[in-house]
Amino acid sequence: MKKALLAGAALNMVFAGMAFADITIGVAGPMTGQYAAFGEQLKTGAEQAVADINAAGGVNGEKLVLSVGDDACDPKQAVAVANSFAGQKVPFVAGHFCSGSSIPASQVYAEEGIIQISPASTNPDFTDKRPGDGIFRVCGRDDQQGQVAGAFIAEKFKDGVVAVLNDKSAYGKGLADETEKYMKEAGKEPVLVESYTAGEKDYSSLITKLKQAGVTLVYIGGYHTEAGLIARQMKDQGVTATIMSGDALVTDEYWAITGDAGEGTLMTFSPDPRKNEAAAPVVAELDKAGKSAEGYVLYTYAAIQAWAEAAKKAGSTEYEAVTAALNEGGYQTVIGDITFDDKGDVKLPGYVMYEWKAGKYDYLAAAQ
């Protein structure tokens, strides 16, 4: 940590004698692999944020340059990406996507004096056990998401037969466990709780269990790739149960996998930032470029906005100064006005229920 701060100070002294030096910042996520759709969301949001900030004059008179790290949602690769960013002496990283990547990478960032703001990692441990005060997130938490999902299931599927599935990942199991916990607290017991292995293609044996149990609602703690295959294979086997999941289904790739089998799928996600007035110019710019503002695009944009505004407020990109400025809060972003609590969690409206219909997701009318 001390070495990193000294190196940063030395670098700042060099830059002080240069006009309009560049500041390299990082964005990290699964740029390849089965969850690459989410890496693309993070990259799209980061690129647009950097372009817009630079067009407005940059940060403290310096332009931003974006370095992209691919962790493939693999913990070891995430640590390697974090170490690479440390070698590049970046002051800030927007990332990672998967909680299983963000948590180990945060150890490196804390040691190296790099601020990390995750747009998408929802496992409570990311901030509950954060290794340093420069670790933040602009998304919600699985315990918040699970509370909304569990209460919804207990109320709307009171007489239903519910199964809870998880993919054993930090994100998927954490979300499923929280949903099951709050569902039980509200008086609803699942008839079946099962794990599956991410990356598998054939879920026929699992679906047979669902069919034999007469399940009418399947809650899936996991990602869109496996959830999409389960949905499609359920339809093929004549299982008409409703599917429900979390924020990892906020990608058009879910519907690309399911087709009509995805109709009526429910999912929890934060209030849609695309509907924010402050986001309208960014959404329009992305539309013009043929890009979507789906999922975590605007959350990544907001993470970079918050860091850039904090750096301007601090008059520096130095770790401790910007961390202090972030903790002071009050930054206007495309997802709303951002302030952080003492854990590094963002104070924003919680989760609402969405429904997939005809290839698009939007608020479920009953949940508004």
Note the pLDDT of residue 6: 38
Confidence of residue 20 (pLDDT cuts 50, 70, 90): low
How many angstroms separate the CA atoms of 51 and 209, rounded? 50
At position 1, the amino acid (one-letter code) is M
The dihedral sign for the CA sequence 322, 326, 327, 329 = positive
Note the pLDDT of residue 368: 38
Note the pLDDT of residue 160: 97
pLDDT, one tens digit per residue, over 55-104 is 999 999 999 999 999 999 999 999 999 999 999 999 999 999 999 999 99
How many angstroms separate the CA atoms of 161 and 169, rounded? 25
Best CA proximity match to 82, nearest among 31, 26, 5, 130:
26
CB 184 within 8 A of CB 155: no
CB 216 within 8 A of CB 161: yes
pLDDT above 70 as % of the chain: 93
Note the pLDDT of residue 266: 98
Count Cα neighbours of 309 within 13 Å in the Cβ-side half-sphere: 20
Provide the mean pLDDT of the chain. 93
- CATH fourth-level superfamily of 2-140+275-338: Response regulator (3.40.50.2300)
Domains 2-140+275-338 and 143-269 equal at CATH topology level: yes
CATH topology (fold) of 143-269 = Rossmann fold (3.40.50)
Two tokens at 194?
């099962």
Residue ranges per structural domain of the chain: 2-140+275-338, 143-269
Note the pLDDT of residue 50: 98
DSSP 266-327: EEEE---GGG-GGGHHHHHHHHHTT----TTHHHHHHHHHHHHHHHHHHTS--HHHHHHHHH
Note the pLDDT of residue 365: 61
